[in-house]
Amino acid sequence: MKHMVAMELMTLIQLKREGIGLKRDVIFMANADEETGGLMGAGFMVQNHPDLIRAEYALTEGGASSIELEGRSFFVCSTGEKGSARFTVRGRGKPGHASQPHLDNAILPLAVALQRIIETPLPLHITPTTRAHVEALASGVSAGTAEMLRALLDPQTHSDALAELPLAEPVKRRLNAIFRNTATPTILQAGSKINVIPAEAIAQVDCRVLPGTTPESIAAEVRAVVGDRVEVEFGRFNPGQESDPASPLLETIKRCLGARVPGSIVVPGLIAGGTDARHVNKLGIKTYGFIPARYEGPNMTGLAHAHDERISVANLMFGTQVIYDVVRAAST
């Protein structure tokens, strides 16, 4: 998010430098804790200082920035995002001395359950946003590629279509994630001494849920995968959300991008993770996940939370220009 912070702050500074006469307020809000839930940042502001940030629209981080298909640029403006339903998987067994192994080892049922979680995709679900995403992409490509894109909407053809699409692997992973709830084991705990068989083995799983998913429905999906030899305990449930993308601001975004990149198409998108939009939306603010960036090849795709996370100077400049164009046009 450091690049988005820089783009937005530079937009505010530039508006001030140029002495632009505004018809509406432009508010810059920066918080440091979105990665830990945002309760002390955007959540705190919504709860305690709503009048400082109340607005008709908000621009925040998005999922994909751009997609290149058949030489055409598609820029993603996210109008929805997944929620979360993180859970703990617990295996239990009989403790004992490691020199005398037995099959009632707590690690075994946990390991089996985790293998199933990693290797077994949860069921496909089509939301209004993901359908709109596919249709918008299909509208700008050849008939053959459009057919492959629309095949993503069918559980029977989804996997084959995703494999055939001429897209970088990080883009395919993101597409796969926005069509289904996902569960990813991230933290393991078992044992305290090398020579003791543990009685309990635990894994924490980061589960992201689509709009429309309920606590009951995701619990049923997970249980169907892990089986009945482990315990599953869910934490706080945060629902996914999506909204109608149609608005004057979205039309402004389309015009501004079209001026910078002639022939480009803006497509609605669903963020596979979560953002501070889950807090500010409570004030009735229509929030868009939008970080404009040109496609720069597979090596510059999917770098969020990865080694050497970075953005090019060229895209930092491009994004700042587009954000400035959009905010100026929408506010004057």
* Number of H-type helices and E-type strands within the chain: 12, 13
Please tell me the predicted confidence (pLDDT) of residue 71: 87
- With vertex at residue 65, the alpha carbon angle to CA 59 and CA 68, rounded to the nearest 5 degrees, is 150
Rounded to an integer, what distance in angstroms lies between the CA atom of residue 223 and that of residue 183? 12
Domains of the chain: 2-82+240-331 (3.40.630.10), 83-123+180-234 (3.30.70.360)
Whether the pLDDT of residue 217 is over 80: the answer is yes
The tens digit of pLDDT for each residue in 279-301 reads 999 999 999 999 998 887 777 77
Please tell me the predicted confidence (pLDDT) of residue 52: 96
Please tell me the predicted confidence (pLDDT) of residue 320: 96
Please tell me the predicted confidence (pLDDT) of residue 97: 96
- What pTM does this model have? 0.87
Whether the pLDDT of residue 147 is over 80: the answer is yes
Rounded to an integer, what distance in angstroms lies between the CA atom of residue 38 and that of residue 33? 5
The tens digit of pLDDT for each residue in 28-52 reads 999 988 888 888 999 999 999 999 9
The tens digit of pLDDT for each residue in 175-211 reads 999 999 999 999 999 999 999 999 999 999 999 999 9
Whether the pLDDT of residue 63 is over 80: the answer is no
Please tell me the predicted confidence (pLDDT) of residue 242: 87
User: What is the mean pLDDT of the segment spanning 69-83?
Assistant: 91
Rg, the chain, Cα only: 22
Rounded to an integer, what distance in angstroms lies between the CA atom of residue 15 and that of residue 26? 9
Helix (H/G/I), strand (E/B), else coil: 200: strand
- For residue 197, the surrounding DSSP H or E stretch is strand 196-197
